[in-house]
Amino acid sequence: MIIPVLDPHFYPVIAFLETFERDVAALPPEKRNRIVLSVSHGDKQEVYALDAFRDGEDDARNCFLAERLTKTMLWLYGGHRIGVYGSKTVYESLKEHYCGNGARAFDFDFMQGVYEQPFTVELLAEEPVRQGASYQVGGHLKGCRIGFDAGGSDRKVSAVIDGEPVYSEEVVWHPKTTEDPHYHYNEILTAMKTAASKMPRVDAIGVSSAGVYIDNKIMTASLFLKVDKKKYGEYVKNMYLNVAGEIGAPVEVANDGDVTALAGSMELGEGRVLGIAMGTSEAAGYINAEGGLNGWLSELAFAPVDLNPEAMRDEWSGDTGVGCKYFSQDAVIKLAEAGGRKFEEGLTPAEKLKVMQKLAEERDPLAERVFSDIGVYLGYTLPFYARFYEMKHVLLLGRVMSGRGGTLILEHCKQVLAEQFPALAPLEIVLPDENSRRVGQSVAAASLPADR
């Protein structure tokens, strides 16, 4: 195994999973058990089947792996119902974890809120089957359009006429630390009006934003972490709809990860694209083989990456070893501090990232090691993601991927894949040019609304 130098106890999920599979495969058939996990909402259901130990043989490993896979499925696919077929022990373990006072109470409450349905864990009498869907999205380029990308550290906006950006800007803002929702509203409206002023009219507005959106309403988003929940329904839920109303144009809102994937799919002219944006957090999205969306959450920021029990804890979800601490500015800061870097007091996370990026350009050994280690993280995580996504291309975007740091991440990711996972050799990992990397999402966002 290739070890990240600044995080020597990193234990990738794929390493545990492959060891588990080898150990089960070595057993005679009568000592194996088939377990099928499902997550679902409405009429959509996604499944993951695994050969495992029989109940009573190695329950600890069965239950641990089943929980980490279920956690991944919830945040990747979305859902408020967990189903377990083939193991009462695993069912009982998951039911204990995913309840109001269990270890995964955050996930339990979150998914209930998003889908506005009770969260349940069920023991299934019949093996569940996948019931998926595909939706066409984006690629609409006619007319005068605004594309807005709401990042956690900066907001980007583009004015786009017939598919060509005529104006783009990037402005630092602080949505995740601001309690007053009027701040968010005014910042978004200001960006939209600025873009509108660069065009003769506005035909449509597309928004790329972290979070979960249903009918262009903000069901939940980390940008509004500090806003009082009592104000959410009145001030936050319809914010993009209200801003669009002031501009006087229809709006389409999509998760920023899906827009990342859309940007890649439009550039490449084909599907099977996993987009990963590394910025304030990890945003991900997927365009399928048909060039559409599967209707998945793809919130990989909260899916497991590292099984080291001492891994960094995510302050929002309360879980350890999840993606937002491995593919974001937090990852850069974490590794830099592990290597002995002491940052000047008062710097924001975005400013600390800039410090390390500048040092990487200057060939500072610690800075180079930081970005190289993130590449190692990615090299071991993409094979795990490949268990869920059919991937032909991976598009890497976001502030963390800028400059020499992004080049180092890509180089070391490819090294891990070549040496440890040769079956993934055909996977094309794309790092767009600097301009596309910085404003590509806002331009792709502009293509979201259908032509009038």
Contact (Cβ atoms closer than 8 angstroms) between residue 74 and residue 101: no
pTM for the model stands at 0.86
Alpha-carbon distance of 229 to 234, in angstroms, equals 10
361 Cβ contact partners less than 8 Å away, ≥ 6 residues apart? 403, 404
Ordered by start, the domain boundaries in the chain are 13-123, 142-254, 259-444
Query: What's residue 312's pLDDT?
Result: 96
Query: What's residue 438's pLDDT?
Result: 53
Alpha-carbon distance of 170 to 280, in angstroms, equals 15
Query: What's residue 435's pLDDT?
Result: 57
Q: Give me the CATH topology for the region 259-444.
A: Nucleotidyltransferase; domain 5 (3.30.420)
The angle subtended at Cα 258 by Cα 146 and Cα 314, nearest 5°, is 115
- Per-block mean pLDDT, blocks of 10 residues, the chain (452 long): 97 98 96 97 95 96 98 96 98 98 96 92 97 84 94 90 93 94 97 98 93 86 88 91 96 86 84 91 90 89 97 94 97 98 95 98 98 98 98 91 96 97 92 63 85 72
Fold match between domain 142-254 and domain 259-444: yes
Q: Which pair of structure tokens corresponds to residue 48?
A: 């993951």
Q: Can you give the length of the chain in residues?
A: 452
Cα end-to-end span (Å), the chain? 54
Question: Strand ranges (DSSP E) for 185-255?
Answer: 204-209, 212-214, 217-220, 251-255
Query: What's residue 401's pLDDT?
Result: 94
64 by Cβ neighbours in 10 Å (0-12 / 13-18 / 19+) ranks as middle
Query: What's residue 214's pLDDT?
Result: 81
- Tell me the per-residue pLDDT of 159-210, one tens digit each, with 9 for 90 and over: 999 999 999 999 999 998 999 999 999 999 999 999 999 999 999 999 988 7
Indicate the CATH number for domain 142-254: 3.30.420.40
As beta bridge partners, residue 44 has 41
Query: What's residue 287's pLDDT?
Result: 92
